[in-house]
Amino acid sequence: MKIAVENIKPTIGSIVRVDRSALLTDEVAQRCLELLDDRGVLVFPRIGLSDKEQLAFTDKLGARVNFTNRVPGGDSATQGVYTITLDPKINTEPEYVLGTYFWHMDGMTSPIPPPKASVLSARKVAAKGGQTEFASTFAAYQALPEEDKADIAKLRVMHTVVAAVREVATPESLDPQRRAMKHERPLVWTRKSGRKSMLIGYTADEVVGMSHAEGRALLARLLEWTAQQEFTYRHQWSEGDLVVWDNCGALHRVIPYATDSGRTMHRTSVAGVEAAT
């Protein structure tokens, strides 16, 4: 198998070098799934996939899910592909992209199992900014003191769109349908394998059964803990790069970039297969 893997940091990330022609083989796809589980973030430098190839690779990793097809940019290039841009010609509701300047996981506010993985390719990069940062909630959870693990073991969190965009938009300015979007998730996410991570980030609005202040303080503390250098990786994009990450095991955010930068990314998503516990 023509695949070479180089780890980025001990807790997160691998660079995967593979021939574009071999990417869609069962053998490589299976290896990528194992690596994704183990490393959280996989970088395929300048692999240069077309939308069709990106969709085909996404399909090799699991069932495809398109929960952003009603957001501006959803299906705008190719059906099933979400175009992420601040270009006002494509994106008439920039707050959903501006909200991604803050740590989050994709699909948390939709009434679906949390998406397993996100697949993102760089079509045009910004001259300044636009890097994507990732933070492993697997590694961060594992490193928590046992007392904290016990305290959060049974907690549940309400994720809302209002919370996701709270730094960039008022609730009143949102489309009423999206303003109402919310979904409850366990704080600690347990895989069938027993491995645990945390479902946190800016979509996390309230801890169920806790006062607003206590819940928000806990969520902020867990987010700060997870964003430590040792659990994070910042990807500097080149055109044609493809990055796949474990959406329930890694937070992500983008470093701000200019509206007229032309930055254009194409995202596809792999559906979650494990129901919340």
- Interacting residues toward Fe ion by CB under 5 A: 100, 106
**Nearest-approach distance from CB 135 to Fe ion, in angstroms:** 13
Nearer to Fe ion, 28 or 245 (CB): 245
What tokens appear for 170 in the block? Answer: 């008022």
Closest approach of Fe ion to the CB of residue 43, in Å: 16
Cβ closest to Fe ion, residue 83 vs residue 100? 100
Which CB sits closer to Fe ion, 97 or 187? 97
Residue number, 100 or 226, with CB nearest to Fe ion = 100
CA distance 2 to 4: 7
Q: Which residues pair with 190 in a beta bridge?
A: 196
For the four alpha carbons of 146, 147, 153 and 158, in that order, the dihedral sign comes to negative
Smallest distance from Fe ion to CB 270, Å = 14
Cβ–Cβ < 8 Å for 233, 22: no
> Shortest Cβ distance from residue 44 to Fe ion (Å)?
18
In whole angstroms, the minimum distance from the beta carbon of 104 to Fe ion comes to 6
For the CB of residue 252, give the shortest distance to Fe ion in the complex, in Å: 6
Taking the least distance from each CB to Fe ion, the nearer of 17 and 101 is 101
Buried b / exposed e along 211-241 (16+ C-beta atoms within 10 A): eeeebbebbeebbebbeeeebbbebebeebb
Q: How far is CA 70 from CA 40, 183, 192, in A?
A: 28, 18, 32
**Residue 235: both structure tokens together:** 């990807």
Q: Which is nearer to Fe ion, 143 or 168 (CB)?
A: 168
Rounded to a whole number of angstroms, the minimum distance from the CB of residue 186 to Fe ion is 20
Residue in 33, 30, 24, 94 with CA at minimum distance from that of residue 52: 24
Of 33 and 71, CB closest to Fe ion: 71
Tokens of 90: 């494509």
**Strand locations in 28-101 (E):** 41-44, 82-84
Q: What is the C-alpha separation between 9 and 40, in angstroms, rounded? A: 11
Cα-flanking dihedrals φ and ψ of residue 210, to 5°? Answer: -110, 155
